[in-house]
Every structure is written in C-alpha cells, then in structure tokens.
C-alpha cells in the first residue's frame, strides 16, 4: 500500500443555509486537520462501488462490468466471475454494490447496474447473488426500472438498506425531464422494496391507478449518492442538477422533489428550465450547489477516528475533483469544507470496517484511504 506523505490541510467554508458557493472569498472560519492519504490501489478502471466481506476482502465494481477483489492491500488479478451482461455505454454499466445487513447469516450481495434489453435500450436494475469462491451463484434479479429506453445518461443507481428489511434504490430520469413527474415510469424516483424484491404494502402509490407501486419519492433528476443518517435513520440523497442546482435532500414518503418544475439551475446552453425555485407541494433541498460540483458517492461518518467529523456527510465532487464534508444539524445545513482537493473525479466514498474513510476516483482509477495523524 503506497503512502502519500503530503499532509492535507482542510479549509472550512461557512455558507448560507440555502445556497452553497463553495469558493466564497469572504469565508473567515478555518479548520485544520492532518491525515495521511494512503493509496490502496491505483490499477482500477472507473471504480463505482466498494463493499467489504467479513474476512476483510474488499469488493470493487468497475463500470465496464468487472468485480475486483482487494486483499491485504493488493488488487488481485483474478476477478469475480458470472455477473450478467451490462449496458456499459455512456454513464451506464455495473455500478453500486452493498452487502445485506445480515450478510453473515444469508450471504447476499446486491448490485445495481444498467440492464440491457436489446437495441441499445437499458435501465437501472438490482441483482442479488452469493459468492462461492470467485463465482457469483444463486443470482436473482429483484428489480428492473421501466420503461427501458435508448439513452446513455442518468441511471442514478445507488442502493441503501435501512436496517428494517427495506432497500432504497435511486433511479435517474434517463435524460427526459418530464419522466421525473410521471408516476407511470420508475425514472426520476427513489424506489423502496423489501430486501427480497417484494413491494411493500405501505408504499405511497401502491393503490394509485397507473402509478408504479415501487416508487417512494419522485421528482429527482439523477441521484448518484444516497445514505442513511446514523442517528435518525432518515434516508438522505443528493442529485445532479443541470448547469447549477445540485441538491442535497432528505427523502420522505410520497414527496415530490420538483424536477423539472423547480430548479436552481439552467440548461447547459444557457436557456432557462423554469422560472421557479420553490413551489407549493414540492420539497425544498436542505442544500444546493451553484456552480454544480457534480456530486457522486455519499457516506456519513459514524466513528470517532476523525475528531469533529461524526455524523458529517462526505460527498464526492466529480467536476471539481474533491470531497465535500457537509455538516448538518436537525436536518439543516450548517457548513461545508473541501477535502482532498484535486484528488480526481470522485465516484464513491465509504467508511470501511476499520473506521477509516475510503475514496474511489475514476480519473485516475484508484482507491485511497484517509489515515488520521497520531
């Protein structure tokens, strides 16, 4: 394992509760923490998700469709075999990975990926399987977002277990804005299912004619980060805005998060999407970024390895190539600071079983961990 002896100094930036200008020149409050950055591996291709087996091995998904193994600090040459075909085009491919909360008893590993249906059509899907040696066995496809469409963007594709037998899946609107307000499609929504794929009877739209019964919330653009608050149990998610207007939200049953009826951003060509930033019946974000940071990956800090970080949210910034540490209190934004500036396009962040923070970047294709200075 390589060690980067550069000490990372973190600049704390105070921001308004509504809008995050992460380069606010008027910031006065500073925080300074020292830690080493250790390179776990730099031999990956577009890593998207990380999960640890009870024996300490790390499983890493690569967007092209491979599952890699890191053991004792080394990336093994042998890959996990048997994953079905993925649509690895545009933003699609093999994405998130999570172990079932009771993995020690049932052995289930869950994956999100873009599942193809031919003709260039694909959409977000969830598969679970068990690992036997280096082979995936007992595969079950638990969810397939519909309709499958010919588009290379906005799969969402994060997966969270809430500890109560439910799993949440983020699904992007696949590049068609109106999908996010259409309950007859899964696109642009957060899905809630039992961990075996069954639809819960108390989902908000189970009895609504024409609505997809799996939907928990809607009005989302492209949520590529999702995590459960370690104290409240609430599901938090962030999503890509257009040009400006990336959002951080608390996900609630049956709520509409507004895309594209409201937005803090504009089209990439400069044209307006809407003249509204708020609307009755639409949930306001806890926080938004303008300019966009292109958020991806998300984790709450739950341990005491990093003094002052407990219950903070760590969010990757693809565009600006850093990790944002966001402090929240009572469901409200407090402040943000930038970590690991210029580390690369951050795709995934996880807290490992050793209590350390692991960060995966797609450019370069590496995983690093943050080791506090003693």
The residues annotated with a catalytic role in the active site are: 154
Alpha-carbon distance of 177 to 163, in angstroms, equals 32
Q: In what order do the strands lie in the sheet with 346-351?
A: 2-4, 35-41, 365-372, 357-362, 346-351
- Angle (CA) 360-357-29 rounded to 5° is 105
Is 261 in contact with 181 (CB distance < 8 Å)?
yes
As a three-state string, the secondary structure of 278-299 is: CCCCCCCCCEEECCCCCEEEEE
User: Is 230 strand, coil or helix?
Assistant: coil
Residue 34 CB neighbours (<10 A): 11
Residue 20 CB neighbours (<10 A): 23
Residue 61 CB neighbours (<10 A): 30
User: How many residues are there in the chain?
Assistant: 374
Is 143 in contact with 117 (CB distance < 8 Å)?
no
With a CB cutoff of 8 Å and minimum separation 6, the contacts of 52 are: 58, 59, 99, 352, 353
318 burial via Cβ count (<10 Å: 0-12, 13-18, 19+): buried
Select from 200, 196, 308, 287 the least CA-distant residue to 241.
287
Alpha-carbon distance of 313 to 329, in angstroms, equals 11
Interior/surface letters 221-248, b for 16+ CB within 10 angstroms, e for the rest: bbbbbbbbbeeeeebbbbbbbbbebbbb
């Amino acid at each position: 394992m390589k060690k980067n002896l550069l000490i990372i100094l973190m600049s704390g930036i105070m921001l308004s509760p509504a809008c995050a200008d992460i380069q606010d020149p008027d910031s006065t409050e500073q925080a300074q923490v020292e830690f080493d950055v250790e390179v776990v591996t730099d031999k990956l291709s577009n890593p998207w998700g990380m999960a640890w087996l009870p024996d300490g091995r790390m499983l890493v998904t690569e967007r092209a469709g491979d599952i890699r193994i890191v053991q004792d600090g080394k990336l093994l040459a042998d890959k996990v075999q048997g994953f079905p075909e993925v649509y690895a085009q545009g933003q699609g491919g093999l994405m998130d990975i999570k172990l079932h909360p009771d993995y020690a008893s049932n052995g289930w590993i869950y994956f999100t990926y873009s599942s193809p249906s031919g003709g260039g059509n694909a959409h977000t899907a969830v598969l679970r399987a068990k690992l036997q040696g280096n082979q995936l066995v007992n595969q079950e496809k638990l969810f397939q977002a519909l309709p499958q469409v010919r588009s290379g963007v906005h799969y969402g594709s994060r997966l969270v277990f809430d500890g109560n037998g439910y799993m949440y899946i983020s699904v992007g609107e696949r590049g068609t804005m109106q999908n996010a307000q259409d309950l007859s499609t899964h696109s642009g929504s957060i899905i809630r299912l039992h961990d075996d794929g069954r639809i819960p009877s108390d989902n908000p739209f189970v009895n609504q004619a024409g609505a997809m019964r799996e939907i928990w919330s809607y009005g989302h653009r492209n949520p590529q980060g999702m995590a459960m608050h370690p104290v409240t149990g609430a599901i938090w998610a962030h999503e890509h805005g257009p040009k400006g207007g990336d959002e951080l939200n608390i996900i609630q049953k049956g709520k509409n998060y507004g895309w594209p009826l409201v937005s803090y951003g504009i089209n990439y060509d400069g044209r307006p999407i809407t003249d509204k930033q708020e609307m009755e019946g639409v949930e306001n974000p806890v926080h938004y970024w303008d300019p966009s940071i292109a958020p991806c990956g998300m984790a709450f800090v739950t341990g005491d390895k990093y003094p002052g970080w407990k219950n903070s949210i760590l969010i990757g910034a693809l565009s600006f190539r850093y990790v944002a540490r966001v402090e929240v209190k009572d469901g409200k934004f407090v402040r943000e600071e930038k970590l690991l500036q210029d580390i690369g396009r951050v795709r995934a962040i996880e807290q490992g079983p050793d209590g350390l923070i692991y960060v995966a970047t797609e450019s370069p294709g590496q995983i690093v961990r943050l080791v506090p200075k003693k």
